[in-house]
A and B are shown apart, each in its own frame.
Chain A
C-alpha cells in the first residue's frame, strides 16, 4: 500500500521546502504522525527516479558537518504532478469514505 504511493509521499514531503534525503524522511515521519515507518534506504532510489522523471531537481551543498549533501527540490513539473496526484488521491479517499460510511454498524441484525 505504502509502496504504491511512495512517489506522492516524497513529493508531498518536499512541497514545503527543498530538503536532503534524511530531512525528507523526518518530514514524512513528522507529517504522518510517525504512521509511515518505511525502510529509510528506499527513499533514495525514489528521489533519483523522481529526479530522472523531471519532477525533482537536486544539487550538492556543504552540510554544517563539512560533508557533501544532496538537496532535492520540486520542479514546476513536480508541483503540477503533486497537484494532480493529490486530486486523484482526494477523489479516491472521498469514494472510500463514502463507501465505508454506508457500511451497517457491526452487531446490527439484518
Chain B
C-alpha cells in the first residue's frame, strides 16, 4: 500500500528527478515510522491510516511543484548573470586578440560589419539590462505554499524577463558569429584564428546553457499546470 502511494506521489514529480528521489526517501521514512508508531501495530490498517494522515498525493505533489518551479526560476536568474558575464569576457577576449594580431576588416565588408556590430551591441546591452532586472526581480520573490494568483503573475513576469534577456543574448551571439565569420574567409586557417573560434564556441555554449535552463522552466511549468488541473 505504501509502495503504491509512493509511486503515485513520485510519479507526479518526474519533471524534477532529484526532487522525486529525495521525496521518495523522505516520505517512505515518514510513512514507515508512522506505521511503526501506530498503536494498532504493523498492518494494512496502520498503513491505510498513515497514508490518509499524509494527504492526497496530487495535492502534495502540487505543493512540491511550486518549490521546484521557484528553484528553477532562481537558477535561471543566476544563470542569466553568469552567461552574460561569460559572453562579455569571450567577446572582449576576441576583440583584444584581433587588436593584438592587427586583424582589420576589409573595406568591402565594412558597411555590413558596421550594421551587424550595431545590432550586436544593442542586443547585448539589452540582455544585460533586462538580465540584471530579471535577476533582481526573481531574487525578491517569496515562494508561497501554493500557486496563488499573485505568484503566478510574478512567475509569468520573471519568465518574460528571462526569455527577453535570453532572446537578446542569442541575437548578440549570432551577430558575433556573423562578425567572426566575416573576418575568417579569404584567410588561411591558422593558429591565430583558434582564439576567435574558441571564444565563439564559449559564447554559443553560454547561450545554449541559458536556453536549456529556460526550456527546463517551461517543462516544469507544463507539469505543474497538469498537476494543478488534476
Interface residues of A (CB under 8 A from B): 3, 6, 20-22, 39-42, 44-46, 48-49, 52-53, 63, 65, 67-70
Contacts and interface: CB of A to CB of B under 8 A. Distances in A.
A9 B64 CA distance: 19
Contacts of B53: 39-40
Nearest to A45: B63
Contacts of A44: 23, 26-27, 30, 60, 64
Interface stretch (B66-74, B103-111, B188-196): B66-74
A109 B23 CA distance: 59
Contacts of B66: 45, 49
A42 B64 contact: no
A48 B53 CA distance: 19
Q: Chain A: interface secondary structure?
A: helix
Nearest to B74: A52
A37 to B, nearest CB: 9
B55 A41 contact: yes
Contacts of B67: 45, 48-49, 52
Given A39-B60, A49-B143, 17 more contacts: A21-B29, A21-B30, A39-B55, A39-B59, A40-B30, A40-B54, A40-B55, A41-B27, A41-B54, A41-B56, A42-B60, A42-B145, A44-B27, A45-B67, A46-B145, A67-B25, A70-B25
A52 B29 contact: no
Interface in B1-52: 19, 22-23, 25-30, 32-34, 36
Given A39-B55, A70-B22, A45 B71 contact: no
A40 B9 CA distance: 14
Given A40-B30, A42-B63, A6 B145 contact: yes
Among B26, B32, B56, B64, find the residue whose CB has the most chain A CB atoms closer than 10 A.
Answer: B26
B154 to A, nearest CB: 15
25 contacts: A3-B145, A20-B30, A22-B33, A22-B34, A39-B55, A39-B59, A39-B60, A40-B53, A41-B54, A41-B56, A41-B57, A41-B59, A41-B60, A42-B145, A44-B23, A44-B64, A48-B67, A53-B143, A63-B33, A65-B32, A65-B33, A67-B28, A67-B32, A69-B29, A70-B29
B70 to A, nearest CB: 7
Contact of A45 (B29, B30, B32, B60): B60
B199 to A, nearest CB: 35
A44 B6 CA distance: 14
Contacts of A46: 63, 145
Contacts of A3: 145
Contact of B64 (A6, A39, A40, A48): A48
Interface centre among A40, A45, A48 (most CB of B within 10 A): A45
A67 B34 contact: no
Contacts of B23: 44
A41 B67 CA distance: 14
